[in-house]
Amino acid sequence: MTPLHQSPTDPGFVQNPYPFYETARAAGPFFHWADYGMTCTGNAAALNAIFRDRRFGREVPAELAPPIPDHLRPFYAVEAHSMLELEPPRHTRLRGLVLRAFTSRRIAALQPEIATLSNQLIDGFPAGEFDLLKHFGQKLPVIIIARLLGVPEEMSDDLLRWSNAMVGMYMAGRTPETEERAVQATEAFVAFLRAYVEQRRADPRDDLITHLIAAEAEGERLTTDELITTCILLLNAGHEATVHTIGNGVKTLLQTRHTITPETAETTVEEILRFDPALHMFTRWAYEDIEVMGHTFRRGDQVALLLAAANRDPGVWEQPAKFHPTRPIKPNATFGAGLHFCVGAPLARLELVTALPILFHRLPGLRLTEAPEYGDVYHFHGLKRLMVSAG
């Protein structure tokens, strides 16, 4: 297996990781990313095989679980109940409860609300040059997920701040300051939700938190801690990736001189998701000795699945480095696959398919006013800001 060196915080890589992915692909289905000390794959077939193989999972094998430093205990106390980090049977129970409330009918019913909110946000854009990420990309998803959960939307700035601090724990180049911010945000988030859950117990509404409380009351054994973690996960995951996808997508459309209409929205959004996704890496642990495409994994080995690289695998996509908004739709790796396929994928797609055509219809003269720059946030991939003018 070929060892490759590439710092995930190198400025050139941050701005354009795709040439490294191509170098890595040329090394075969798997390569050793020396900077992570980990076996990785950007091969679409290998990635799909691992996503769907129950012999790989998110939970750390018990004998390899590292001791948690005292200062990080509040953060990992929340993570311990996250369905994103769990395997069956706990994953099955938590995901089942969420899907009961996160139904396709409930998601589809949000479409008029997403359209109205998009128009309201556009009405509030400042004159002249402004940051589209701040005034549109960040606001839309966090307000929608807050409404869905039943959390007051005036809390959206706090939710955004807490979420940004918490996801810092997954970024390359994490520092003690990053950890301190994440722990403080976790404690604030938990305190707010604990009080809010008690409020909802006394005053049930037609929202996701009330539905999760009802499931708990029906003897499903969803504890208050599990409920709080699930809400945090849905709030964080429910907008973090969508913010970056809106930014990356609008940037790509403006740079390639494409637009998006209600008629072209579905194929254009799928191509946005494929071409420059918001999440580039997801890891799995091997639970037994397994061979995948000629590579043998031992129990306890970790493998990194490079979603953005798989989305440009020429074995699957014709001219994969070209943004082609009328490309025939086929499955991409952006939302994962298998047991942990993203619960929020239908909501993210609905937000993008609804909001982006409205944005381009309302602002036909939308243009970039400075070259967009990606933030140093790997394994996420998103812009620092998106400075534009409406005319």
Backbone angles phi, psi at 128, to 5 degrees: 75, -145
Q: What is the pLDDT of residue 220?
A: 63
Which of these ranges, 49-53, 307-311, 342-346, has the smallest mean pLDDT?
Answer: 342-346
- Mean of the per-residue pLDDT values of the chain: 93
For residue 40, list its beta bridge partners.
Answer: 31, 304
d(CA 379, CA 281): 5
What percent of the chain has a predicted confidence (pLDDT) above 90? 74
**For residue 303, what pLDDT is reported?**
98
Residue in the structure block whose two tokens are 């509030």: 124
Across residues 37-66, what is the average pLDDT? 95
Which class for 258: exposed (0-12), middle (13-18), buried (19 or more C-beta within 10 A)?
A: middle
According to the model, what pLDDT value does residue 218 have? 62
Give me the sign of the Cα torsion angle 103, 104, 105, 109. positive
CA distances from 332 to 292, 306, 337 (A): 20, 12, 9
CATH number assigned to the domain comprising residue 307: 1.10.630.10
- Measure the CA–CA gap between 28 and 218, rounded to whole angstroms: 51
Residues spanned by the domain of 348? 2-389
pLDDT of residue 288: 96
Decide if 340 contacts 58 (C-beta within 8 A): yes
Query: 276 with 308: CB under 8 angstroms?
Result: yes
Count up the domains in the chain and report the number.
1
pLDDT of residue 216 exceeding 70: no
Question: Worst-scoring range by mean pLDDT, 23-32, 47-56, 80-89?
Answer: 80-89
- The structure's pTM equals 0.93
* Range 216-253 burial, b when 16+ CB lie within 10 A, else e: beeeeebeeebbbbbbbbbbbbbbbbbbbbbbbbbbbb
* DSSP assignment of 333-381: STT--GGG--TTHHHHHHHHHHHHHHHHHH-TT-EESS---B-S-TTB-
One-letter amino acid for residue 246 of the chain: I
- What is the side-by-side order of every strand in the sheet holding 302-306? 2-4, 31-33, 38-41, 302-306, 281-286, 56-57
pLDDT in tens, 101-123: 778 888 999 999 999 999 999 99
For residue 383, the SS3 value is: strand
What is the C-alpha separation between 42 and 30, in angstroms, rounded?
8
% residues pLDDT > 70 (the chain): 98
pLDDT of res. 171: 85
